[in-house]
Amino acid sequence: MAKNTSKGKLIPKGALLRAALIWETWVQTCYNYERMMGMACAHTFLPVVKYLYPDNKEKQVDLMTREMEFFNVHPEFGSCILGLAVSLEEEKAMGKDIPNEFITNIKTSLMGPLAGIGDTIWQGVLIPILLALCIDITLSGGGNIWGAIVYAVLMLLITYIFSCANFMFGYHAGSDAIMDFLEKGIINKLLKGASIMGCMVMGGLIVNYVKVKCGLTIDTSGTTFSLQESLFDAVLPNILPLGLTMGVYGLMQKKWTSVKIILLMVIIGVVGGIFNILV
Amino acid sequence: MSIMQAIICGVIYWLAEANLPFVGLWTLQRPLVCGFLTGCVLGDPVSGAVIGGTINLVYLGFISAGGSMPADMALAGVLGVSYAIVGGLDANTALAIAVPLGLLGTIVWYLRMTIDSVFVHMGDKWVAQGKFKKLYLSNVILPQIFSAVICVIPCFLAAYFGADYIQSFIDLCAGKPLQIFQIIGGMMPALGIAITLQYIFKGEARIFLFLGFMIATCFGLTLVQQGIIGLIAALIYIQVTDNNKTTGIPAASSQAAVGAVAKDYDPDED
């Protein structure tokens, strides 16, 4: 769609960038159950709406009203939808016959898959890996502040650059390109690579930060036999932290909530501590 | 802790919780970052970062999707670090105290998500009247004032009065109870790792968890070194398997979604 119309006729580049920045900055300042990010959508159109209908207030109101509708997506991955919506509204303003429902439909139908992919990649892969590395930097060598600073600066840069680039991608490339991107499997390859790296990092994290030690001892003819030192450490150190992590993973697969798991850990800790099973 | 310090702790919590993306959401909300800032306020940035980082291990892969909030990691970070610095707790004890506080904090999130709907209706009215500039008021300023009220006040009270009691509480717990706190705090990071594994411990990537575990057990590398090895392993693996047509994790959902889009998509529009 929209390959035969020349772009950028109505909206100057500066206003477009301002729209992208508004989206990224204020997207969740009024996050609510009724419309989720709906008002942020309308807010995004604030710098561009006056270029679309310079002297037709009624059409401006129409546009803003339909952008106020329910919308919820992952802020960074979903910003291409906003870029796409701006470009569709621009074509409409330039006289092309695009029904209002078409714009709303394409927004709502894209937000599901992009939210799914975005939340998984962003909060399930990117943030955990980056956080794990930066926490390790912070805790290494008796502690320092660099991990916290590196994480905050990197994350801010990634967030803003990715979101604005994605917004412009949606604006220039149109819905075909977004669909292509979702279909082609680049994301899958990326996700698989990131999963491999993430698994390696999590393996290291288990060893370094999950602490479970068995305090049981067995007395046999005068010599004390510590299960931890003589059995676990001799066969495979850190087998207990690995076992605990896999156990928690198994419970989560069985739909246990994190609250329940925290309670279970408290019970295990109290019982284990009182009877010296855990130290 | 002075009153001023406690108020600033409350402000940090507000900025972290209220989803101002340029300071909050993906950065300040993480206990590693808000703990570090709390440490700065209380005069011990290094302890703040270390304790915040340890608390953050529990929340590694916490996902807030569709407006849900499984636990309030920002409150856990700010209060955990301030109690730890004032009461002289070690990181694992602070962790065991902070995580239950984080569960309480979700009340603030759900309250905010509910009440913010009021401002949407103001926005509706102003948009209908053509006063678009007022969206700054309804989308940013008013909801943020409301967020400030419900974030700063409880966090200030908890930081100020909690810190007074934390020392005597810890004295009371000396011995066995404190050891139990440390045991629980030592186990908690398994939760953060397990949650992250829900998203990445899939298909062919599974075996690499055990490879990473063995490398760390045998060689004791830093996590950054291990991450670089992981990146290289990922690249090698993808190069080797590239010829085979691969299907990854979200393939099914994105295919289905594309199908849904295609229905609404009218080729005549071109």
- The pLDDT tens digits for B74-112 are 999 999 999 999 988 889 889 998 988 888 888 888 898
Q: How many CB pairs under 8 A join A and B?
A: 436
**Structural contact between residues B262 and A182, judged by C-beta atoms closer than 8 angstroms:** no
B36, B42, B117, B199: best to mutate for the A interface, most A CBs within 10 A: B199
Of B56, B186, B265, the CB nearest to A131: B56
Query: CA-to-CA distance for B170 and B149, rounded, in angstroms?
Result: 31
Of B188, B198, B246, the CB nearest to A252: B198
pLDDT at residue number A177: 82
The neighbouring-strand residues paired with A218 are A225
Query: CA-to-CA distance for A232 and A216, rounded, in angstroms?
Result: 11
Average pLDDT over residues B135-143: 92
- Chain A, 214 to 233: residues with Cβ < 8 Å from chain B are none
pLDDT at residue number B244: 57
pLDDT band for B138, please (50, 70, 90 cuts).
very high
Specify burial of residue A105 (Cβ count, 10 A radius: 0-12, 13-18, 19+): middle
pLDDT band for B246, please (50, 70, 90 cuts).
very low
Query: CA-to-CA distance for A207 and B220, rounded, in angstroms?
Result: 9
Q: What is this model's ipTM?
A: 0.85
The residues spanned by each domain of chain B are 3-200, 203-264
Whether residues A210 and B189 touch (CB distance < 8 A) is answered with yes
Whether pLDDT at B256 is above 50: no
- Which is more confidently placed, A172 or B269? A172
Give me chain B's average pLDDT, please: 85
Average pLDDT over residues B229-235: 93
Whether pLDDT at B261 is above 50: no
Helix (H, G, I), strand (E, B) or coil at A224: strand
B112, B137, B197: best to mutate for the A interface, most A CBs within 10 A: B197
Hey, what are B131's tokens? 């006063």
Nearest CA in chain A to B125: A65
Hey, what are A44's tokens? 């995004």
Residues across chain B: 270
pLDDT at residue number B23: 62
Torsion angle, CA of B89/B91/B92/B95, rounded to 10 degrees?
Answer: 90
Task: Please check whether residue A100 touches B, CB under 8 A.
Answer: no
Place of tokens 């001023």: B4
The pLDDT profile of chain A, 279 residues, written as one tens digit per residue, is 444 444 446 899 999 999 999 999 998 888 888 888 999 999 999 999 999 999 899 999 999 999 999 999 999 999 999 999 999 999 999 888 888 889 999 998 888 888 888 888 888 889 999 999 999 999 988 899 999 999 999 999 999 999 999 999 999 988 888 888 877 777 888 888 989 999 999 999 999 999 999 988 888 777 888 888 878 888 888 999 999 999 999 999 999 988 899 999 999 999 999 998 988
Chain B environment of A137 (Cβ under 8 Å): 222-224
Whether pLDDT at B260 is above 70: no
Query: CA-to-CA distance for A205 and A246, rounded, in angstroms?
Result: 13
For residue A222, the distance in angstroms to the closest alpha carbon of chain B comes to 27
**Structural contact between residues B118 and B199, judged by C-beta atoms closer than 8 angstroms:** no
Task: Please check whether residue A174 touches B, CB under 8 A.
Answer: no
The neighbouring-strand residues paired with A223 are A220
pLDDT at residue number A112: 86
A179, A205, A252, A260: best to mutate for the B interface, most B CBs within 10 A: A205
- Chain B, 153 to 192: residues with Cβ < 8 Å from chain A are 176, 179-181, 183-184, 186-191
**Structural contact between residues B5 and B38, judged by C-beta atoms closer than 8 angstroms:** no
Torsion angle, CA of B154/B159/B162/B164, rounded to 10 degrees?
Answer: -140
Say what angle helices B251-264 and A146-184 make with each other, to 10 degrees: 60
Nearest CA in chain B to A108: B261
Say what angle helices B3-17 and B142-172 make with each other, to 10 degrees: 120
| pTM score | 0.85
